[in-house]
């Protein structure tokens, strides 16, 4: 998702690297993937691509869909 947003011109690779670096430095004991996700979420919000309420709503929708999806099946938002 990060690469695709960059390819669409939503942010520069330098902006991404700075945000990821800041997240890694802010919480060095956090798992790398979680820092990656935090950086992406922060950058998407900062660029106005998604608001905080939209992001939280999407997280909730994915959680509901994941719980409603049988193991081994694709997670579809409409399952939530």
Per domain, the residue ranges of the chain are: 1-49, 51-80
Could you identify the residue written with the tokens 């330098």?
A: 14
32 Cβ partners below 8 Å, 6+ apart? 24
In this prediction, residue 79 carries a pLDDT of 73
The beta-carbon contacts of 7-13 under 8 Å, at least 24 apart in sequence, are 10/44, 10/47, 10/49, 11/43, 11/47
pLDDT per residue over 52-80, tens digit each?
A: 999 999 999 999 999 999 999 999 888 76
Angle at 52 between CA 55 and CA 70, to 5 degrees: 20
pLDDT band at 21 (very low <50, low <70, confident <90, very high): very high
- The reported pTM is 0.80
Give percent of the chain above pLDDT 70: 99
Q: pLDDT value at position 78?
A: 83
């Amino acid at each position: 998702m990060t690469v695709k947003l960059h390819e669409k011109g939503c942010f520069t690779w330098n902006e991404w690297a700075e945000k990821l670096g800041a997240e890694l430095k802010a919480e060095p004991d956090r798992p790398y993937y979680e820092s990656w996700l935090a950086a992406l979420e922060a950058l998407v919000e900062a660029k106005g691509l998604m608001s905080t309420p939209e992001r939280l709503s999407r997280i909730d929708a994915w959680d509901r869909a994941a719980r409603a999806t049988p193991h081994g099946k694709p997670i579809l938002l409409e399952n939530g």
